[in-house]
Copies of this chain bind each other. A is one copy, B any other.
Amino acid sequence: MSTQSIFAPAQIGRAGEDIAMQLEAAILGEKILPGERLPSERELQTQFQCGRGVIREAIRALKQKGLVEIRKGAKGGAYVKNIEMTNVGESLALFLKQQRVAPGHIVEFRESIDRVIVVLAIARASAAEKQALIAETEKLLEILEGETPDRDSLARQDQILNIALAKMSRNPIFEWVMTAIQQGFSSHDYALYDDPVYCRKTVENWHATACRIAENDPMKALNSISAHYGLLHRCVENQKAESKNVSADGPDTAQVS
Report the Cα distance A92→B89, complex, angstroms: 9
With A1-B256, A64-B61, A256-B3 known as contacts, the answer to whether A88 contacts B82 (CB < 8 A) is no
Report the Cα distance A135→B177, complex, angstroms: 32
With A57-B57, A57-B60, A60-B57 known as contacts, the answer to whether A254 contacts B31 (CB < 8 A) is yes
> B112 near A1 (CB under 8 angstroms)?
no
> B171 near A105 (CB under 8 angstroms)?
yes
CB-CB < 8 A to A64: which residues of B? 61, 64-65
The number of times this chain is found in the oligomer is: 2
Q: Is the interface of A mostly helix, strand, loop or mixed?
A: helix
Q: A168 → chain B, closest Cβ, in Å? A: 14
Closest to A177 in B: B177
Report the Cα distance A87→B257, complex, angstroms: 29
CB-CB < 8 A to A82: which residues of B? 98-99
Interface members, chain A 83-99 (any B CB < 8 Å): 83, 85, 87-88, 91-92, 94-99
Closest to A117 in B: B112
Q: Is A247 an interface residue (CB 8 A)?
A: no
> B97 near A28 (CB under 8 angstroms)?
yes
> B83 near A173 (CB under 8 angstroms)?
no
Interface residues of A (CB under 8 A from B): 1-3, 6, 16, 28, 30-33, 36, 53, 56-57, 60-61, 64-67, 82-83, 85, 87-88, 91-92, 94-99, 101, 105-106, 108-109, 112-113, 116, 171-174, 176-177, 253-257
